[in-house]
Structure 1
């Protein structure tokens, strides 16, 4: 049974961080969004919530294809939450590194920083885990949240405000986190993507923080065109770091901006007129990309109702194909074992399997399922494979050996079903 939080229907848990759990959800119009539900110990800090409430309006002014915009927030009640655009993809921390198209990543991250800084927002916790990758394009998430919760009571409650190794040295030494601190985090994140290593190594947070303050970053293996830029971004002196706009100019990229669409009212139950916003090259679907945008699920639009339903259909089809391959192999083993002593039984088994496969292909042919072509091909290949495998096995192995194989396969299948 699905859970509801305000006007949002929570579909599934996507993950958790220092400040809350993130859920895939549907808004009142059936569009997919990401809802971050704050942890109880975070929600108990009234001062931090008041600060976040003041900053949300500023955060909502940040727009662009490389940021996950803040759409809504409800910071009152037992379960305060923030709503952002849902970005389908994997975090940079979970994709293979070094990244293939490093220039595309660098340009996207710099554009995201420029959008935030132009709106007066400092991310404060930019790191690979907060950069979602979709078709090679980065989308920055969770901007502004760490700054809002930089209070003693929240920190004492267990939320980590920032990540050593990606926090600027002035922040680690107790200074203010300004746009220059984000540039340092940008350099550390890009260095990780370029070399496949954390620029200040790994280990206890205190040891990593010490290296950030007192040691130069590890940039060995970074391409020559980006090494000098990384060195400037990771300069210990904030005044010597380039701005986001200067980084874009160095990369030869113009900032990508788009007008903000009507968003949600703070804590409201219904959105204003207009859609929550699309973003160029911000997310991919399981099957293909349409205009390189984050897909918004509206019931009745797209194949089988949209992205979520199509994803479920693809999962069901993968499971069905596994069962189809397994049953075809098992039926071929049984028929091959019976072909010598009981040829009628072998013929019956093959005929039954063929009839079932043809019937399933016929049902798929008459249906309007988006994956029907693959289903039909899988059915016909399974039937042909079972018949061919039966005759091949009976020509190579004895009846006793085939019966032993079939019995073993049956036992393994039963054990697998019980364990599943």
Structure 2
């Protein structure tokens, strides 16, 4: 949005939640907001000015009806309003690009493996219900002390109908949209796997399409398989979860275990603590981030 609104639905906006993403786009506008009684703080999301509000609203309504581990939980939404919106409970969280910035570079290999495994588990749970996320990208992944969460549900579908090329949509992250989806194909589970490969690559290198030698040796074959142009050559999300599960938690992980230990570096934990303190003190409104 070009300006920060005073309110979104019943919530009073206290600050924009704009990630420090550099050149990476965000598929929706996000704000920190508080209920009128001051008792609840939420992250509220609305469509971008140049997106199709109708299609975005359909995706938001679907997200609100889901109950999938590893996805941001939607507690309230109004998809019929002039400006549709949805809200998720606030906990201190950073987008993946912000986490890399707080850490000062790519994440440690152990963290990347645990992150990838948790995200794969969330996608596998969704796929088991017949749901395709169709929007995974670095800016759609949030890290917190409660584990990673996936937002921006349906960003690829909201970008354009099936059969219409999506390759030049400015708010879709290059490298994250599977080739068949960019060409207008219907989003399917293996498209989510392609996006996850790009997210894992970003976490490990700072790029969604790194050179093979930039990746840690333990990730090269897996990322290459995920990013295959041929969907049939990509692993299923459940298989990918087991490939990425660090040895220390392999015996405990299941397809629904999206809270397996995610070792966060000290810089990220410190950034989460600073954010939490700022939000708690946010009345009057926070300055834009």
Same fold per superposition (TM over 0.5) = yes
2:13 aligned with 1:10: yes
Residue aligning to 2:44: 35
Aligned residues: CA RMSD: 4.0
Q: Distance in 2 between matches of 1:247 and 1:241?
A: 9
Residue aligning to 2:176: 166
Residue aligning to 2:138: 128
2:216 aligned with 1:223: yes
Residue aligning to 1:147: 157
Equivalent pairs counted in the alignment come to 256
| Kept in 1: contact 2:205–2:215 (CA 8 A) | yes
Q: Distance in 2 between matches of 1:256 and 1:199?
A: 28
2:72 aligned with 1:68: yes
Q: Deviations over 1:251-307 (max 9, x none)?
A: 33323459xxxxxxxxxxxxxxxxxxx999799687869xxxxx8xxxxxxxxxx87
Q: Deviations over 1:5-44 (max 9, x none)?
A: 322121111128665421101235622211112244536x
| Kept in 1: contact 2:92–2:273 (CA 8 A) | no
Residue aligning to 1:194: 204
Residue aligning to 2:29: 21
**How far apart are 1:72 and its partner, in Å?**
1.8
Q: Distance in 1 between matches of 2:73 and 2:92?
A: 14
* Alignment partner of 1:237 out of 230, 238, 241: 230
Which has more radius of gyration? 1
Gaps of 5+ in 2: 20-24
TM-score by length of structure 2 reads 0.71
1:363-382 equivalent positions in 2, closer than 5 A: none
| Kept in 1: contact 2:77–2:85 (CA 8 A) | yes
| Kept in 2: contact 1:88–1:284 (CA 8 A) | no
Cα 1:52–1:135 change in 2 (3 A) is closer
TM-score by length of structure 1 reads 0.51
Cα 1:20–1:228 change in 2 (3 A) is closer
Cα 1:5–1:279 change in 2 (3 A) is farther
Gaps of 5+ in 1: 201-217, 259-277, 290-294, 296-305, 316-420
Q: Distance in 1 between matches of 2:223 and 2:189?
A: 16
Higher relative contact order (CA 8 A, sep 6+): 2
